[in-house]
Structure 1
């Protein structure tokens, strides 16, 4: 299969390219080359900027391809211009979208038929800075642009939940691993909440399977929410870092509503924690029926730690600095919680009594 990957240097794209080469596919990567490529020698690397129409036209002359995979598109107008050109030299398109495309997430469970944000395929926000409030609607606009160019019979859209694993650049799991290595009392919420991040290797494996099988349509991509909990993830982080930890890490389970009252920034100060009704309410049954298989979360944690220990470094990205709570603030919150709940010690291993978040 001749495969064109738009992106390919970071995280999902990087893992996708490596797996595609391992499967024996003929892979072309198109990007600006601004980040270290780390591309296998068998990959054809075409440098260019998809925001420049002449660069996209030059890329098209390198075709044709069986499939074009867009792992990086986030500006609808830019995606529209590129897919309109590439639709003539690629038989099919795969667009990697996001759970943020759903209007009601994280406040209600979602499946592929849930309502989406309104999206405009011609919209350009005029900035390339990360905006979490605009991300979902922008991705929907990109989906529409891809569908307009290729038609539903030639388009596969994947909407993954949070993606973790080696090469993660956002910094969620790397922050927790680094925090557990530092040890001591650790501010820990929501031990029993089901959690369903998808391993990057499972996402890219499913993508390639569907590309090989000529799959079309829309698939949510996530493991079942009942497979692992937030507490399982944190305990796995402690386990894999124990041999090199500066001191033993001890989880201090804190009520979610109390954290909200203290103004703890959800999703970032304590990465992957959110007190909404359904932050981990993605139904991915359709993908599982189509062959999606997800490895245990503990394996993702362990392999990410191995990658970090072997010198792996996330690429520089503005979102990395958002994640993690300052040590002084964490210590202050733990002290305040224990003062208000004197029967708990800072070595508490049992969950705190929980109220239903509002």
Structure 2
């Protein structure tokens, strides 16, 4: 029979209690340590875990699209195909410092309108772009109905800038390739003539370029020429005291208004496309005439009778500008 152990049963109880206490203390220490460690849950990256063998690592889409903070601004801009902020600022500054030609032309037009309040599309002090062609002017007559002329320095104005005969009689200075010529508008150039286009007499075109070219780029502007001529008046064929058409000829500056004196004051007549001002009911026919140019200057003419198709001279002329 085996002998019993010399340790009594009561000796095992303290040992078990001590072990239990030790385990509890150790658990408490671990809990305290974990409690006081910094929280790393927000920095944890599941994709950073070591992959199992045979697993392909794929970069996160956000990692591809979001450059690191150390990436240079120029590199980021290149990747995104967007100009850098400095380049955009430079472009904006350049745009502010260098006005476009259209903006400059608009500003000039506003200034010209202030100096010529009655001007239409063609304003003094403004340079217009266009092309020049030429046509057979025949005896020199045209839509303005000035009649035959020996003056070869004439032109037809495109319909837009002709502006219902408002361009008739205007003197235009035309430039092309270092050459220039002054022409008087006596005709209208219908479509396909575009805004800005002038259809010159062959002689006027030849002063700018070889006629074999047919069409050339030009710039042009309104001119108030020096002249010793005075204005003339003509009544249209068929005019009488009951109906009349009145035309002014030889005015230095474009004509804005033609008025006739009636019993109730000055009556402004309507300008027709064929460059006559009509009094449909005969009001003022044979009476005093008042002309106003685009600058607002007025001249008054008396003693002009109703003589159809007769050019009657006056002693007046608009001032030069």
- Using structure 1 for the length normalisation, give the TM-score: 0.23
Q: Which protein shows a greater Rg?
A: 2
- Using structure 2 for the length normalisation, give the TM-score: 0.25
Larger helix percent: 1
Choose between structure 1 and 2 for higher RCO, CA contacts under 8 A separated by at least 6 residues.
1
